Amino acid sequence: MAANESGLHNRTLRQVSGLLRDGQVSSVELTEAMLARIEAVDPAIRAFITVTPDLALDHARRADEMIAHWRNGTIDTLHPLAGVPLAIKDVILVEGVPATCGSRILENFRPPFSATVIEKLLAAGVVILGKTNTDEFAMGSSTENSAFFTTRNPWDTTRVPGGSSGGSAAAVAARMAFGALGSDTGGSIRQPASLCGVVGIKPSYGRVSRYGLVAFASSLDQIGPLARTVGDAALILGTIAGHDPKDSTAMRLAMPDCYHRFEYATDLKGLRVGVPKEYFIEGMQSEVETAVRDAVKVMESLGAEAREVSLPHTEYALPVYYLIAPAEASANLARYDGVRYGLRVGGEGLGVRDEGLWDEYRNTRGVGFGAEVKRRIMIGTYALSSGYYDAYYLRAQKVRTLIKGDFDAAFKEVDVIACPVTPTTAFKIGEKADNPLEMYLSDVFTLPANLAGICGISLPCGFDTAGLPIGLQLMGPAFGEERILKVAAAYEAVTGWHTRPPGV
């Protein structure tokens, strides 16, 4: 436990990166400290599905060699992430490490290759601590849909951490990792970041390769970072972004080096901030509205100019998302047939009799998928079936274009949009578990960005009277990451919300 007492886990990513570079700590020591921290804290939080101590120490030894080579001049540059321990959401493949996606159907699946984002992190010298809990196939907003267990919010363990990247958000908030990867299809990075008081970025669609991300809804999914500061999240994003020959949707655009650029820039003169009137709805927690409006005032005090904007089709985002995402999911999840991956249940002799094969599909999928996943497969299959396709799926695609048009129009008037991330702070475990529609409402303010393909960030902007964190969302146009990161970094620099630790 000596390692846990070192207090290393309380440092930010940028701080430990400096310690590693200066030789004040080795990556092996740092990794041992974090593994001890996980052992001490995770039984109460349950952020990790799989912890990978051997792999982590392997990575750490490799990183220490990299640092030694850099110090004696054999290599010229050292990536700032070299030797830094991170956590990875369990929908992102790491070669040889179980990737369950929070599902029974993939319980024993060990991928034979790593996602492109993992290859990039490993090339930088990152240490992978393990795989974090998620709602099954990233479908949910609380991690309660995980087939294994629910992750607890480090600020109050009777509450959810949000989802679906709740394991990653809780791991970062509870100081079990200096940063993490999540995935965001409709809010799954930003909403848990908000509920756990950390920073989360949903990159523009096409900013980051999806190769090796287990697909939920391919036209909406993006991998992105979670960390304790804007700069730390920007650094991870800069490392994983960029073109990938294995994913033709990953754009050939360099990500600006936001990490080194924004540290001390707090001048927002000339910046136009739009506050969408449709994002302050009846039934939302008044403390959330107050905190967000106060955050806008802080930006004004830094020289920004705030004005109300309208995104008139906002009310359709939820129904549109819940047609398009399940439609794509129903197609993507067809591959779990008991033959190619993971679980296989029953059916006699494969393909010997047709009935045997059908039984095997039915049994495997019946046992392997949880209730929410089955609900989505049914909705999606229905929306895509002949006779209903035009009325539901095609109609939803048309309205999606109108939602994108709202943002195009708004970004002619303003540079960034500031709004809440989610209507309430962390809710109690079990509170919404039996009410899918209420659960879906957690993402009303995050889904539109995915439908429009634009970027968004969630960062801490206050606490409610129960001491639970509140998040601020900043949205920018497609490939406008530099802009929202600059504003977020300025806001963070003059407020102290991100420095307060949870009680664990």
Q: Give catalytic residue positions.
A: 89, 164, 188
CB of 488 to ligand GLN, least distance (A): 20
Say if CB 116 and CB 430 are below 8 A apart: no
Cβ proximity to ligand GLN: between 138 and 379 the closer is 138
Listed ranges 29-37, 136-144, 342-350, 385-393: which one lies at the site for ligand GLN (CB under 6 A): 136-144
- Evaluate the CA torsion angle 319, 320, 321, 327 in order and state its sign: positive
Query: For 72-149, where are the alpha helices, taking DSSP H only?
Result: 116-124
CB of 17 to ligand GLN, least distance (A): 29
Cβ proximity to ligand GLN: between 232 and 443 the closer is 443
List the x/- string, 336-375, binding to ligand GLN by CB under 6 A. ----------------------------------------
Listed ranges 138-146, 398-406, 410-418, 457-465: which one lies at the site for ligand GLN (CB under 6 A): 138-146
Cβ proximity to ligand GLN: between 70 and 316 the closer is 316
Number of Cα atoms under 13 Å in the Cβ half of residue 186: 29
Per CB under 6 A, contacts with ligand GLN among 439-478 are 443
Cβ proximity to ligand GLN: between 217 and 489 the closer is 217
Helix H or strand E segment including 360: helix 354-368
Query: For 369-418, where are the alpha helices, taking DSSP H only?
Result: 371-384, 395-413
CB of 103 to ligand GLN, least distance (A): 14
Listed ranges 133-141, 237-245, 338-346, 405-413: which one lies at the site for ligand GLN (CB under 6 A): 133-141
Count CB neighbours of 412 within 10 A: 8
Helix axes 230-240, 481-494, angle to 10 degrees: 160
Per CB under 6 A, contacts with ligand GLN among 152-211 are 164, 184-188
Total of chain residues touching ligand GLN, rule CB under 6 A: 13
- Token code pair at residue 291: 């905190």
List C-alpha distances in Å: 81 to 77, 86, 123, 455.
12, 9, 10, 23
CB of 427 to ligand GLN, least distance (A): 13
Listed ranges 139-147, 252-260, 303-311, 383-391: which one lies at the site for ligand GLN (CB under 6 A): 139-147
Q: Is 21 helix (H, G, I), strand (E, B) or coil?
A: helix
CB of 432 to ligand GLN, least distance (A): 11
CB of 105 to ligand GLN, least distance (A): 17
How, if at all, do strands 416-420 and 469-476 pair? Answer: antiparallel
CB of 127 to ligand GLN, least distance (A): 26
Q: Over the Cα atoms of the chain, what is R_g? A: 22
Contacts with 219 (C-beta within 8 Å, 6 or more apart), sequence order: 205, 324, 328
Burial of 434-451, coded b for 16+ CB within 10 Å and e otherwise, reads: eebeebbbbbbbbbbbbb
- Token code pair at residue 23: 């030789």
**What torsion, rounded to 10 degrees, do the Cα atoms 381, 383, 386, 391 define?**
180
Binds ligand GLN by CB under 6 A, chosen from 16, 45, 128, 138: 138
Contacts with 381 (C-beta within 8 Å, 6 or more apart), sequence order: 330
Phi first, then psi, for residue 47 (nearest 5°) are -80, -30
Query: For 203-270, where are the alpha helices, taking DSSP H only?
Result: 230-240, 258-261
Cβ proximity to ligand GLN: between 146 and 188 the closer is 188
Binds ligand GLN by CB under 6 A, chosen from 13, 30, 139, 379: 139
- DSSP structure class, residue 149: -
Query: For 154-250, where are the alpha helices, taking DSSP H only?
Result: 166-173, 190-196, 230-240
Per CB under 6 A, contacts with ligand GLN among 57-96 are none
- Chain residue at closest Cβ approach to ligand GLN: 188
Cβ proximity to ligand GLN: between 138 and 317 the closer is 138
Cβ proximity to ligand GLN: between 318 and 339 the closer is 318
Listed ranges 96-104, 137-145, 279-287, 410-418: which one lies at the site for ligand GLN (CB under 6 A): 137-145
CB of 84 to ligand GLN, least distance (A): 25
Binds ligand GLN by CB under 6 A, chosen from 141, 314, 364, 425: 141
List the x/- string, 210-249, binding to ligand GLN by CB under 6 A. ------x---------------------------------
CB of 244 to ligand GLN, least distance (A): 21
CA pair distance 421, 192, nearest whole angstrom:
9
Per CB under 6 A, contacts with ligand GLN among 313-332 are 325
Q: Is 48 helix (H, G, I), strand (E, B) or coil?
A: strand
Cβ proximity to ligand GLN: between 101 and 309 the closer is 101
Listed ranges 15-23, 37-45, 135-143, 459-467: which one lies at the site for ligand GLN (CB under 6 A): 135-143
CA pair distance 122, 240, nearest whole angstrom:
10
**Which residues share a beta bridge with 470?**
462
Count CB neighbours of 461 within 10 A: 28
Cβ proximity to ligand GLN: between 184 and 232 the closer is 184
Task: Give me the residues that bind ligand GLN (CB under 6 A), please.
Answer: 138-141, 164, 184-188, 216, 325, 443
